[in-house]
């Protein structure tokens, strides 16, 4: 029924000078209108594979090439990249570098103009319309946000009306809302216009939701190509490759040890409905789920449990009493929308400092203290654009603070104030007794260390060792050689010590940036999106590295969109929205408030959703925690299995 | 010194970026900005070359007046004009001091004034043309006049990448500062601090170049997938791209008025070569 649009037959490729081939005997066919995810660990040949589609390999990268690529039933041998690119659009991972014109419309028109198509302008306009950038068409590239630049790169590829679109890690630099936006656009291109879409993707939750089939690469070989449900259910096979199927899928897999290979597991919370049950409280949970409307009961029950839960296992210096109050407020807040909003307002008004241990202990000096700090930028029109207003905050030693909120909520700005990179335009900021206002960033260097979102921004030397020792060298520290060695060891960088940090992989670069920060032995370390751009296994590793960090600094603050990271790591969560702090409390408190999360533009993880719908005593942060509290329901599962088979069969 | 500090505070990288780019790309709103780029380029060619061979001060002064009017019409930024004046004054000032040193006197001012006039005419012509042409139209204009496409493209790409480079420069500078150690004392006339900053500003260029090299790998590859090589020196594409350029009545009028003015000026100049001094 569906035609093969692109076929690879026995393709192998070796980069010049390399010992081992990056692609080995890969045979693959893409059906027209498919939505394919290419997955695989780092260095498995995902990008290389996609570059054979449009002839970049072997024409642009010359090397040893064998095999055949067939596009629309014709061999592509002898065709140039330019000829093939008429049919295949490519969006790079570092998409910013593929925008070569100054204005949005110009860039969108660039490709069709290059091919001498008389209607290039209409094509550009249409591509902008498809990506929702029409309103920005006369803007300059440098005025766009990261997400908009990505959309523009996509528009540039769409302007040629290609049959196949290849997108290398479409959402790695975006917050969850923008990520969803990109995928919704891709889906509509796929469904409405019948484009064949190939994404290289780590985020299995997005694969589960949007893709139809999955290609697994491993060590340059194509291991298999399967429909999405079958593919992601192969948990046991994927985990060793560093690919983490969605939480729901893994939880189901963990709860059913010894299930035969090929068993299908649910991929999303919707599919999983009814498959999990609270351990020990199966009856109640079942009843509630089936009815689905007995929310009030669930809520009452949850409030009670939340209270006891908090009393029993509140961690890291939060006053239980306050937590209970918070939970109570939320429980009431869930009753009706109006009340919910009121509860949210109340959170804003609440003084966040009350809930900290130091307030209870009284004596200890806070690491960071902000008093009604504000920050405003001057725009091109000479008006002041406020980014932070009236932020009051106290951070204490030993806290692991997560700053959450969507793009533009002011997370980075807040951290820049603490690090002395930006000067507050109102109020005061004190770090370890030093008033930041008016101090040059050098003065705060050893007190507050800021680790940039993009590690490359921090690289100023030509070796990893040089990067780590720069700060100590500038201060002529006696023990610097020793400290550097210790840091290199702690962040597992010994082997890479003499390499140029710019040429390392994303995860390695991130470790270098953290080692740079830790070598300064700051009182407070500020990390901007430490898990952005990392594949999931590196991300898991990063959580371990963050724990290493704890022994070197007093307080760690992380700005992130990554709710899984927050759930697993933080002891205190500060929610920001439009330049203000709208909530501050333990993660249990914050996660329990669905309304608050939505208001701040945060998406819940699957575990959070499941914990909530099952009415678990608290929102689970890790799979282990979750699976220890729920059990698998065999009978419901069977129905689901059949449904799953039917589903994948129809695809 | 406080005043200097305050002035320095106002010069943020973001600000420079906005000024510079605002200036470069915001030109089509002026009278001269609506002219065809080819008209402006040819016009510029004349006023950039001819003054060097002119010794007639009346004609030079006449040209200066024309250039001044054009600069006003082009609404050039006061910042650039300020820099020009500063340059001219220091240039002439130094030469005057030197001539005093070698036993010259007030009479050495006049020949220098001639040179200054020439320089001003040429500089003002440059300012007029380049504030009236944004990089895109400049690149298209050059391309239309037969300059190789690769050069014209590089020119417009250079502008496109400029803000990125500025941002990166700022970022790396910040990284140096965040890990560096500023001198504890400012030293006499802030020399320690100044030396510290000058040193890191130089050091920034090294990572900046490496990063740029890394970035350009994707750019070059992407140009390939975006059909750039297909287009380069393809006359069909060039024609399509430049089809928006056309000489309109206002171009002819502008050229005509300039020509008439020059004819009158040269007549006047030959009749009274020493009208002013």
pLDDT tens per residue, range A522-579: 889 999 988 876 767 777 777 877 887 777 788 999 998 888 888 888 899 999 988 8
Mode of pairing for the β-strands spanning A221-227 and A196-200: unpaired
Whether the Cβ atoms of residue A165 and residue A155 lie closer than 8 Å to each other:
no
Whether the Cβ atoms of residue A181 and residue A240 lie closer than 8 Å to each other:
no
Model confidence at A294, pLDDT cuts 50, 70, 90, reads very low
Distances (CA, A) of A551 to A375, A436, A578, B207: 32, 25, 33, 31
Split into its structural domains, chain B has a count of 1
In a domain, B112, yes or no: yes
Tell me what pLDDT residue B41 has: 94
CB contact under 8 A, A377 and B14: yes
Cα–Cα distance, A605 to B194 (Å, whole number)? 51
Model confidence at B258, pLDDT cuts 50, 70, 90, reads very high
Q: How many CA atoms lie within 13 A of B65 on its CB side?
A: 9
In a domain, B166, yes or no: no
Residue A329 above 50 pLDDT? no
The residue-averaged pLDDT of A132-146 equals 87
Alpha-helical runs (H) found in chain B: 2-10, 13-25, 37-49, 57-73, 78-101, 109-132, 135-144, 149-179, 191-225, 228-231, 235-241, 249-271
* Closest listed residue to residue A377, CA positions, set A422, A439, A440, A438: A422
Instruction: Give contacts of B18 with chain A, Cβ < 8 Å.
Output: 380
Tell me what pLDDT residue B27 has: 66
In a domain, B99, yes or no: yes
Q: Residue A10 is encoded by which pair of tokens?
A: 């026995």
Residues of A598-618 as b/e, b for ≥16 C-beta within 10 angstroms? ebbbbbbbbbbbbbbbbbbbb
CB contact under 8 A, A94 and B215: yes
Residue of A nearest to B209 (CA): A460
CB contact under 8 A, B178 and A445: yes
Radius of gyration of chain A (CA): 26
Please give the biggest Cα pair distance in chain A: 77
Option in A102, A419, A450 nearest B159 (CB): A102
Interface of A with B in 63-92 (CB under 8 A): 80-82, 85-86, 88-90, 92
Residue B253 above 80 pLDDT? yes
Averaged confidence pLDDT in chain B: 85
Which contacts of A2-5 are long-range, i.e. CB under 8 A and separated by 24 or more positions?
Answer: A2/A31, A2/A32, A2/A33, A2/A34, A3/A31, A3/A32, A4/A29, A4/A30, A4/A31, A4/A32, A4/A70, A4/A73, A5/A30, A5/A31, A5/A32, A5/A71, A5/A72, A5/A163, A5/A164, A5/A196
For an interface test with B, the pick among A47, A61, A92, A102 (most B C-beta atoms closer than 10 Å) comes out as A102
Averaged confidence pLDDT in chain A: 80
Please give the biggest Cα pair distance in chain B: 69
Cα–Cα distance, A268 to A208 (Å, whole number)? 7
Distances (CA, A) of A566 to A342, A402, A545, A590, A604: 26, 6, 14, 11, 11
The residue-averaged pLDDT of A119-133 equals 93
Which contacts of A331-340 are long-range, i.e. CB under 8 A and separated by 24 or more positions?
Answer: A331/A299, A331/A300, A331/A302, A331/A303, A331/A306, A333/A593, A333/A595, A334/A295, A334/A299, A334/A594, A334/A595, A335/A296, A335/A299, A340/A595
In a domain, B233, yes or no: no
Cα–Cα distance, B242 to B37 (Å, whole number)? 11
The residue-averaged pLDDT of A614-623 equals 81
Beta strands in A86-130 (DSSP E): 88-91
Token look-up 């009545």 returns B249
Residue B25 above 60 pLDDT? yes
Q: Is A67 helix (H, G, I), strand (E, B) or coil?
A: strand
pLDDT tens, residue by residue, B161-184? 888 888 888 889 889 988 888 887
Task: Give the residue extent of every domain in chain A.
Answer: 33-45+80-214+221-255, 363-605
- What is the third-level CATH fold of A33-45+80-214+221-255? Rossmann fold (3.40.50)
Q: Is the CB of residue A449 less than 8 Å away from at least one CB of chain B?
A: yes
For an interface test with B, the pick among A114, A141, A382, A451 (most B C-beta atoms closer than 10 Å) comes out as A114
Q: Residue A315 is encoded by which pair of tokens?
A: 């961690």
Q: Residue A83 is encoded by which pair of tokens?
A: 């000829």
Interface of B with A in 110-169 (CB under 8 A): 135-136, 156-157, 159-160, 163-164, 168
Q: Residue A583 is encoded by which pair of tokens?
A: 């909530």
In a domain, B249, yes or no: yes
Option in B21, B164, B211 nearest A456 (CB): B211
Tell me what pLDDT residue A222 has: 93
Cross-strand pairs, A9: A68
Cα–Cα distance, A497 to A486 (Å, whole number)? 12
Distances (CA, A) of B272 to A280, A623, B268, B275: 110, 95, 6, 5
The CATH homologous superfamily of the domain defined by A363-605:
P-loop containing nucleotide triphosphate hydrolases (3.40.50.300)
* Closest listed residue to residue A436, CA positions, set A380, A391, A385: A391
CB contact under 8 A, B181 and A60: no
Most confident of A342-346, A485-489, B75-79: A485-489
Tell me what pLDDT residue A281 has: 54
Which carries the bigger pLDDT value, residue A110 or residue A597?
A110
Distances (CA, A) of A1 to A4, A6, A31, A566, A651: 10, 15, 10, 46, 12
Distances (CA, A) of A343 to A335, A337, A579, A594, B129: 11, 10, 20, 12, 61
In a domain, B104, yes or no: yes
Option in A98, A141, A458 nearest B222 (CB): A98
Q: Is A278 helix (H, G, I), strand (E, B) or coil?
A: strand
Model confidence at A408, pLDDT cuts 50, 70, 90, reads confident
| A33-45+80-214+221-255 shares its CATH topology with A363-605 | yes
Q: Residue A147 is encoded by which pair of tokens?
A: 């997400």
**End-to-end CA, chain B:** 43
Whether the Cβ atoms of residue A245 and residue A237 lie closer than 8 Å to each other:
no
Q: How many C-beta atoms surround the C-beta of residue A491 within 10 A?
A: 24
Sign of CA dihedral A211, A214, A217, A222: negative
Residue A296 above 60 pLDDT? no
Q: Is the CB of residue B14 less than 8 Å away from at least one CB of chain A?
A: yes
pLDDT-wise least confident of A213-217, A340-344, B264-268: A340-344
Model confidence at A321, pLDDT cuts 50, 70, 90, reads very low
Cα–Cα distance, A199 to A367 (Å, whole number)? 44
Cα–Cα distance, A210 to A183 (Å, whole number)? 7
Cα–Cα distance, A218 to A40 (Å, whole number)? 6
- The proportion of chain A whose per-residue pLDDT surpasses 70, expressed as a percent, equals 82
> What domain range is B83 assigned to?
26-148+245-277
Model confidence at A94, pLDDT cuts 50, 70, 90, reads confident
Residue A342 above 90 pLDDT? no
Residues 6+ apart with CB under 8 A from A437: A423, A424, A428, A429
Residue A297 above 60 pLDDT? no
């Amino acid at each position: 029924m569906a035609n093969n649009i692109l076929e690879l037959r026995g393709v192998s490729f070796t980069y010049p000078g390399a010992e081992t081939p990056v692609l080995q005997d890969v045979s693959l066919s893409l059906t027209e209108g498919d939505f394919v995810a290419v997955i695989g660990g780092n260095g498995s040949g995902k990008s290389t594979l996609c570059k054979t589609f449009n002839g970049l390999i072997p024409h642009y990268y010359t090397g040893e090439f064998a095999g055949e690529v067939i596009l629309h039933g014709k061999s592509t041998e002898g065709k140039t990249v330019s000829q093939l690119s008429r049919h295949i659009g490519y969006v790079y991972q570092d998409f910013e570098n593929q925008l070569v014109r100054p204005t949005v419309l110009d860039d969108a028109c660039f490709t069709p103009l290059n091919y001498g198509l008389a209607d290039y302008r209409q094509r550009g306009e249409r591509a902008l319309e498809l990506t929702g950038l029409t309103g920005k068409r006369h803007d300059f590239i440098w005025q766009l946000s990261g997400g908009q630049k990505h959309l523009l790169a996509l528009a540039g590829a769409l302007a040629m009306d290609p049959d196949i679109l290849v997108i290398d890690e479409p959402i790695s630099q975006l917050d969850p809302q923008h990520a969803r936006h990109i995928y919704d656009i891709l889906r509509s291109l796929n469904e409405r216009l019948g484009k064949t879409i190939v994404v290289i993707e780590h985020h299995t939750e997005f694969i589960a939701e949007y893709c139809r089939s999955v290609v697994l690469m491993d060590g340059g070989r194509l291991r298999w190509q399967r429909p999405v449900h079958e593919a992601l259910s192969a948990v046991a096979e994927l985990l060793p490759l560093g690919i983490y199927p969605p939480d729901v899928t893994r939880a189901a897999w963990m709860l059913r040890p010894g299930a035969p290979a090929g068993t299908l597991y649910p991929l999303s919370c919707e599919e999983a409905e009814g498959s999990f049950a609270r351990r020990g409280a199966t009856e109640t949970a079942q009843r509630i789920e089936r009815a689905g409307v007995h929310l009030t009961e669930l809520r009452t029950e949850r409030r009670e449990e939340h209270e006891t839960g908090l009393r029993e296992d509140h961690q890291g210096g939060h006053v239980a009493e306050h937590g209970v109050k918070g939970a109570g407020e939320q429980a009431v807040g869930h009753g009706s929308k109006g009340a919910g909003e009121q509860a949210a307002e109340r959170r804003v008004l609440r003084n966040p400092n009350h809930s900290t241990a130091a307030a209870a202990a009284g004596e200890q000096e806070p690491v960071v203290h902000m008093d009604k700090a504000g920050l405003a930028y001057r725009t091109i029109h000479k008006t002041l654009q406020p980014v932070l207003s009236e932020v009051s905050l106290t951070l204490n030693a030993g806290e692991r603070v997560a700053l959450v909120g969507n793009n533009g909520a002011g997370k980075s700005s807040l951290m820049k104030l603490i690090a002395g990179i930006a000067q507050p335009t109102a109020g005061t900021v004190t770090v370890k007794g030093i008033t930041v206002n008016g101090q040059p960033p050098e003065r705060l260097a050893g007190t507050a260390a800021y680790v940039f979102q993009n590690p490359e921004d921090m690289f100023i030397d030509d070796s990893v060792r040089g990067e780590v020792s720069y700060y100590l060298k500038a201060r002529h520290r006696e023990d610097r050689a020793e400290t550097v060695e210790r840091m290199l060891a702690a962040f597992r960088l010994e082997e890479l010590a003499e390499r140029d940090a710019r040429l390392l992989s994303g995860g390695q670069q991130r470790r270098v940036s953290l080692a740079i920060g830790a070598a300064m032995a700051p009182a407070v370390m500020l990390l901007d999106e430490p898990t952005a751009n990392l594949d999931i296994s590196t991300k898991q590793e990063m959580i371990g590295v963050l724990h290493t960090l704890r022994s070197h600094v007093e307080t760690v603050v992380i700005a992130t969109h990554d709710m899984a990271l927050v759930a697993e790591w933080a002891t205190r969560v500060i929610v920001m929205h439009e330049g203000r702090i709208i909530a501050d409390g333990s993660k249990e408190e914050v996660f329990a408030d669905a309304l608050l999360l939505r208001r701040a533009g945060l998406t819940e993880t699957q575990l959070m959703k499941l914990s909530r719908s099952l009415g678990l005593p608290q929102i689970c942060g890790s799979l282990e925690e979750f699976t220890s509290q729920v059990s698998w329901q065999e009978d419901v599962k069977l129905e689901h299995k059949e449904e799953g088979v039917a589903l994948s069969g129809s695809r | 010194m406080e005043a200097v500090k305050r002035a320095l505070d106002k010069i943020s990288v973001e600000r420079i970026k906005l000024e510079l780019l605002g200036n470069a790309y915001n030109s089509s709103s002026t009278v001269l900005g609506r002219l065809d780029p080819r008209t402006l380029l040819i016009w510029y060619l004349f006023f950039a070359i001819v003054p060097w061979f002119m010794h007639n001060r009346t004609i030079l002064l006449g040209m200066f007046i024309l250039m001044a009017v054009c600069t006003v019409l082009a609404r050039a930024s006061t910042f650039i004009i300020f820099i020009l004046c500063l340059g001219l004054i220091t240039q002439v000032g130094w030469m005057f001091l030197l001539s005093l040193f070698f036993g010259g006197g007030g009479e050495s001012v006049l020949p220098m004034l001639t040179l200054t006039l020439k320089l001003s005419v040429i500089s003002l012509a440059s300012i007029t043309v380049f504030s009236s042409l944004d990089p895109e139209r400049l690149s298209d204009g050059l391309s239309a006049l037969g300059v190789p496409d690769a050069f014209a493209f590089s020119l417009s790409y250079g502008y496109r990448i400029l803000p990125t480079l500025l941002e990166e420069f700022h970022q790396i500078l910040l990284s140096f500062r965040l890990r560096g150690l500023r001198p504890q004392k400012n030293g006499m006339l802030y020399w320690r601090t100044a030396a510290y900053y000058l040193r890191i500003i130089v050091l920034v260029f090294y990572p900046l170049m490496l990063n740029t090299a890394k970035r350009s790998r994707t750019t070059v590859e992407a140009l390939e997938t975006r059909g750039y090589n297909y287009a380069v020196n393809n006359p069909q594409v060039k024609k399509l791209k430049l089809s928006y350029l056309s000489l309109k009545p206002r171009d002819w009028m502008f050229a005509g008025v300039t020509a008439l003015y020059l004819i009158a000026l040269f007549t006047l100049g030959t009749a009274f070569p020493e009208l002013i001094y």
